[in-house]
Amino acid sequence: MKRKVFALSLIAILMLCFAQVSFAQDGLKVGYVSLTRVFDQYKKTVDYDKVLEQKSTEYKKQLNDLVAKIQESERKITLLKESERLALAQQMEKDKQALKEFMQKNETDLRKDRDDKIREILLEIEGVVKDYAQKEKYDIILNDRVLIYGGETLDLTQKILDILNAKK
**What number does CATH give the domain 2-167?**
3.30.910.20
Query: By CB neighbour count within 10 A (0-12 exposed, 13-18 middle, 19+ buried), where does 52 fall?
Result: middle
Kindly tell me if the per-residue pLDDT of 12 is higher than 60: no
The answer to whether the CB of 151 falls within 8 A of the CB of 27 is: no
pLDDT digits (tens, 9 = 90+) for 111-145: 999 999 999 999 999 999 999 999 999 999 998 88
pLDDT digits (tens, 9 = 90+) for 52-96: 899 989 999 998 988 888 888 888 877 778 878 788 888 889 988
Mean pLDDT of 142-162: 88
- Helix-strand-coil percent breakdown of the chain, rounded to 5? 80, 5, 10
| R_g (Cα) of the chain, nearest Å | 26
DSSP, residue by residue, 63-102:
HHHHHHHHHHHHHHHTTS-HHHHHHHHHHHHHHHHHHHHH
Residue 3 has a pLDDT of: 55
Q: Where are the domains of the chain?
A: 2-167
Residue 133 has a pLDDT of: 94
Q: Any residues with CB less than 8 A from the CB of 27 and at least 6 apart, and which?
A: none
Residue 41 has a pLDDT of: 94
Closest CA to 30 of 168, 150, 123, 112: 150
